[in-house]
Structure 1
Amino acid sequence: MPETPPGVKEVLPKQGLLYQEDMPTVVLCKPKLLPLKSVTLEKMEKMQKEAQDLVKQQDKEAAVIAQMGGGGFSERF
């Protein structure tokens, strides 16, 4: 009994083409983190907040004008 296991002897051709089988390996990449909110949703929320702030500011100005003596149009004419 031989001490080493019998193996396959490699044979390279002296003429012709030599083919090599290439097995592609799996390449792992870093996971991509997705935002919780999309850019469009963030823009819409920003626009809505700005509109609400504008309405609040106009309400405060109207309240100040009302405290000062009523409407501004009737006093001019």
Structure 2
Amino acid sequence: MSDIKARIDEYIPTKGLLYFDEELKYVISKPKIMPLKSITLEKLETLQNDAEEKLKQQEKLGQEFSTTF
């Protein structure tokens, strides 16, 4: 039996139409949680806050020096 090979002939129609129906199925996935602020924006805000604090400290020190003279 191992010597006998099964042969399947292809049949291609010459007349008529071929139809292929594909049903679209929805794939529901878990919602993605997006951060309200990006990491880059948070870094920029911390840098800006640090710069403002340093400016306030320098202004405060400048006022102290000007009142002592």
TM over 0.5: yes
Counterpart in 1 of 2:63? 63
Counterpart in 2 of 1:42? 42
C-alpha deviation, 1:28, in angstroms: 2.6
In angstroms, what is the RMSD of aligned CA positions?
Answer: 2.0
* Alignment gaps of 5+ in structure 1: 1-15, 17-24, 70-77
Counterpart in 2 of 1:74? none
Q: Which runs of 4+ in 1 moved over 4 A?
A: none
The within-5 A match list for 1:20-31 is: 26-31=26-31
The residue type equivalent to 1:42 in the other structure is E
Higher RCO, Cα 8 Å, sep 6+ = 1
TM-score (norm 1): 0.52
In 2: Cα distance, 1:54 partner to 1:44 partner: 15
In 2: Cα distance, 1:26 partner to 1:36 partner: 28
C-alpha deviation, 1:38, in angstroms: 0.8
